[in-house]
Amino acid sequence: MEPGLHSIRRRFNRCAKESYDAHARVQRVMAEGLGRSLADVKQGERKAQLDLLEIGCGTGLLTEILRRDWPGAAITALDIAPAMLEAAEQRVRSKAPSASAHRRLPVSFRLADIETWAAEAESSSFDLIVSSACFQWLSRPQETLRHLLRLLRPGGSLAFTTFGPETFRELHESFATVYRSCGLEPKRHGLSFLSGSEWRTLLQHAGFAEVREESAIRTEGYASVSEFLHSVKATGASASAADASRGLGWRSLFTCMFREYERRFPAPEGVAATYELLRLQAEVPHDKVARKR
């Protein structure tokens, strides 16, 4: 496992055990929106015995929707964090008819990093691959998309949600203002997000066809900047990836950022936080030629 994956797994294990679902308001919205889009696009196939792969199932927000809307499908759900898989399995088991500790679940849960797993998995294994609020973590998105194309059967689909570059706009602007006020070059704190058009280009270069993208801006309110950052941390992300700069201590940096954020981005609840929600869907050409691994 790559060094960065260890820290990601550790964070998500901690979140699953503590309070992920309590803070995953936006992630729930993304999963529900993806579920609706799949129901609309694939309405005639939802009861078919299809093979579905869910990437980054987390605590099972989307898994539960897939089980409800695709009752005939065989679902394989992957996640990198054991505690997330355990939470997802408990969620699905609690919704299964006549649920019991010994009943075989209609979902196969697997502990795996998709970027490694997809490179080794058997070709043409799935009719549909879905993922919600996960693809922003991919370190090799172009390569991984090519592998996902190979895993899909001709005529299959890939559908996913992720965050766009406007996400946490207020946070990044506040940090940048503080850095500049100290005569320093601004540094990025947290993940960088690809735009919808960038994802479209990656999908097309990977060999997908009929790429469709949607973008929506959602604003959430928090009582304070501290509560906002706590909520972000509770869902596995972090706003503190950059090191404190020379001449600007860590505590001083955050104190100034809090003050700037609260001054510039007030909301009725306290402060506002922007999320750009992307949803993309792409099809596999019916005449797809198998690619070598």
Mean pLDDT of 179-189: 91
What per-residue confidence (pLDDT) applies to 105? 67
How does strand 107-111 pair with strand 74-79?
parallel
CA distances (Å), origin 112, targets 9, 37, 65, 98, 120: 10, 26, 21, 29, 11
- pLDDT level of residue 18 (50, 70, 90 thresholds): low
Q: Which amino acid is at 150?
A: R
Query: What torsion, rounded to 10 degrees, do the Cα atoms 62, 230, 168, 24 define?
Result: 10
The first and second tokens of residue 146, run together, are 């090519």
C-alpha angle 91/118/114, rounded to 5°?
45
What per-residue confidence (pLDDT) applies to 293? 43
Q: Is 287 exposed, middle or buried (0-12, 13-18, 19+ CB in 10 A)?
A: exposed
- Evaluate the CA torsion angle 130, 51, 289, 39 in order and state its sign: negative
What per-residue confidence (pLDDT) applies to 41? 61
CA distances (Å), origin 207, targets 138, 154, 283, 286: 18, 12, 9, 12
The predicted-structure confidence for 112-169, as pLDDT tens digits, reads as follows 999 999 999 999 899 999 999 999 999 999 999 999 999 999 999 999 999 999 999 9
What per-residue confidence (pLDDT) applies to 61? 96
Mean pLDDT of 161-178: 97
What per-residue confidence (pLDDT) applies to 4? 66
- β-bridge mates for residue 219, sequence order: 274
Q: CA–CA separation, 35 vs 57, rounded Å?
A: 13
Residue that the structure tokens 């939470």 belong to:
87
What per-residue confidence (pLDDT) applies to 40? 66
What per-residue confidence (pLDDT) applies to 3? 44
What per-residue confidence (pLDDT) applies to 9? 76
Q: Which three-class secondary structure string do you get for 201-230?
A: HHHHHHCCEEEEEEEEEEEEEECCHHHHHH
- β-bridge mates for residue 215, sequence order: 278
Q: How many CA atoms lie within 13 A of 21 on its CB side?
A: 13
What per-residue confidence (pLDDT) applies to 154? 94
Mean pLDDT of 205-232: 96
Q: CA–CA separation, 187 vs 153, rounded Å?
A: 43
Q: Name which residue leads in pLDDT, 191 or 149.
A: 149
Mean pLDDT of 53-67: 96
Q: Read off the DSSP letter of residue 69.
A: H
Q: Which long-range contacts (CB under 8 A, 24 or more apart) does 267-271 make?
A: 267/219, 267/221, 267/222, 268/221, 269/221, 269/222, 269/223, 270/221, 270/222, 270/223, 270/224, 270/227, 271/170, 271/221, 271/222, 271/223, 271/224, 271/225, 271/228
- β-bridge mates for residue 212, sequence order: 281
| Mean pLDDT lowest among 15-24, 69-78, 89-98, 200-209 | 15-24
3-class DSSP assignment, residue 99:
coil
- Evaluate the CA torsion angle 260, 263, 264, 270 in order and state its sign: positive
Mean pLDDT of 80-84: 94
Is residue 231 left, alpha or beta, with left meaning phi > 0 and alpha meaning psi from -120 to 50?
Answer: alpha
Mean pLDDT of 52-73: 94
- pLDDT level of residue 19 (50, 70, 90 thresholds): confident
What per-residue confidence (pLDDT) applies to 138? 96
What per-residue confidence (pLDDT) applies to 235? 87
The predicted-structure confidence for 244-293, as pLDDT tens digits, reads as follows 454 557 788 999 999 999 999 999 999 999 999 999 999 999 886 654 44
User: Which pTM was predicted?
Assistant: 0.89
